[in-house]
Amino acid sequence: MYRSRILPLALLGLALGMSPLQDLRSDQPVPTQASKDEPKAQDKKDQKADDKETQDREPDVVYWPTPQNVVDKMLELAEVKKNDVVYDLGCGDARILVTAAKKFGCKGFGWDINPVRVKESLENVKTNKVEDLVTVKKGDIFTLDLKDANVVTLYLLPELNVRLMPQLEKLKPGSRIVSHDFDMKGAKPKQTVTLKAKNHMGVEGEHKVYLWVVPWEKE
Ligand SMILES: C[S@@+](CC[C@H](N)C(=O)[O-])C[C@H]1O[C@@H](n2cnc3c(N)ncnc32)[C@H](O)[C@@H]1O
């Protein structure tokens, strides 16, 4: 129950100008007037039942969508082409894959551990008529074999990027990895770009995009 309240608190935190790191970590409470909104016991019970129904386990990071101009920059840095296969690990509403499919006509695969996000993704894919190109499934990204991808997109957390390294280093040589805002300790990025973007709450800030090409240079 405690954790289920973190996302709205985190969203409020970002709206108030807190750092993305603090907002995205699902285990870090953001100071708010939470006690004022403390749900009643029945609400807690209902929420618990909802959580159980919709999620096998807690996401490692809360949902926070990448602004569209940052999505465009990620795909540009990765030099996505029609024959590429793009994987978005923790795909949210699948906006990165939908954009890649519409702009470049390439295939995309996304996984999210939260079934609400998977449902939103499938709706987004349908609305944009890219069902033939984009596939989204519920799944834990730490169990995936990434060998069929040649572009991987990430908007997670630095420590989650590091946790993914054993999977990412098995990508085919020449595969590109792009990460919104977060680096990957131990892997030197080939390029880092900073740009301004407004998040979905209308708050403008600086965003970074990191690019690595497999095999990456160690740092
Ligand atoms: C910050 S959001 C990024 C969404 C999307 N990639 C984007 O850039 O707009 C991170 C997403 O990762 C998902 N997630 C967290 N832990 C996960 C895990 N272990 N396996 C799959 N998805 C996960 C969350 O549910 C959330 O939708």
Rounded mean pLDDT, 166-171: 98
pLDDT score recorded for residue 23: 54
Cα–Cα distance for residue pair 216/176, rounded to 1 Å: 9
Q: What is the mean pLDDT of residues 118-134?
A: 98
Q: How far is the CA of 95 from the centre of ligand 1 (A)?
A: 12
Q: Is 60 touching ligand 1 by the criterion CB < 6 Å?
A: yes
Is the pLDDT confidence value at 34 over 60?
Answer: no
User: What percentage of the chain has pLDDT greater than the value 90?
Assistant: 74
DSSP readout, 14-38?
HHTT--HHHHHBTTSPPPSSGGGGP
The pTM of the full predicted model, rounded to 2 decimals, is 0.82
Average pLDDT, the chain: 83
pLDDT digits (tens, 9 = 90+) for 102-124: 999 999 999 999 999 999 999 99
Average pLDDT over residues 138-148: 97
Angstrom distance (rounded) from CA 45 to CA 110: 31
pLDDT, tens digit (0-9, with 9 covering 90-100), for 72-94: 999 999 999 999 999 999 999 99
Q: Which of 4, 6, 61 to mutate to test the pocket of ligand 1 (most atoms within 8 A of CB)?
A: 61
Q: How far apart are CA 149 and CA 181, in angstroms?
A: 21
Separation CA 170–CA 37 (nearest Å)? 46
- Reduced to 3 states, what is the DSSP secondary structure of residue 72? helix
pLDDT value of position 57: 86
pLDDT at position 51? 45
Question: Distance, CA 179 to ligand 1 centroid (Å)?
Answer: 12
Query: In angstroms, what is the span from residue 114 Cα to ligand 1's centroid?
Result: 8
**Which pLDDT tens digit goes with each residue over 186-195?**
999 999 999 9
Evaluate: CB of 216 within 6 angstroms of ligand 1: no
CA of 79 to the centre of ligand 1 (A): 23
CB atoms within 10 A of CB 50: 12
Counting beta carbons within 10 angstroms of the beta carbon of residue 119, is it exposed (0 to 12), middle (13 to 18) or buried (19 or more)?
middle
Q: How far is CA 38 from CA 2, 20, 34, 43, 197, in A?
A: 10, 25, 6, 10, 33
Strand order in the sheet with 191-198: 134-138, 107-112, 85-89, 151-154, 176-180, 204-213, 191-198
Q: Is the CB of 142 under 6 A from ligand 1?
A: yes
Q: Which domains can be identified in the chain, with CATH numbers?
A: 68-218 (3.40.50.150)
Tens-digit pLDDT profile for residues 38-71: 233 333 344 344 444 445 789 999 999 999 999 9
* CB contact at 8 A, 160 and 60: yes
With a cut of 70, say whether residue 21 has pLDDT above it.
no
What is the reported pLDDT for 49? 42
Cα–Cα distances (Å) from 79 to 76, 116, 191, in that order, read 5, 30, 12
Ligand 1 close to Cβ of residue 90 (< 6 A): yes
Task: Give the mean model confidence (pLDDT) for residues 179-207.
Answer: 97
Q: 208 near 178, Cβ under 8 Å? A: no
**For 139-148, what is the mean pLDDT?**
97
Amino acid symbol at 185: K
* Mutation choice for ligand 1 from 4, 117, 159, CB with most ligand atoms inside 8 A: 117
The stretch 163-171 carries a mean pLDDT of 98
Angstrom distance (rounded) from CA 189 to CA 34: 39
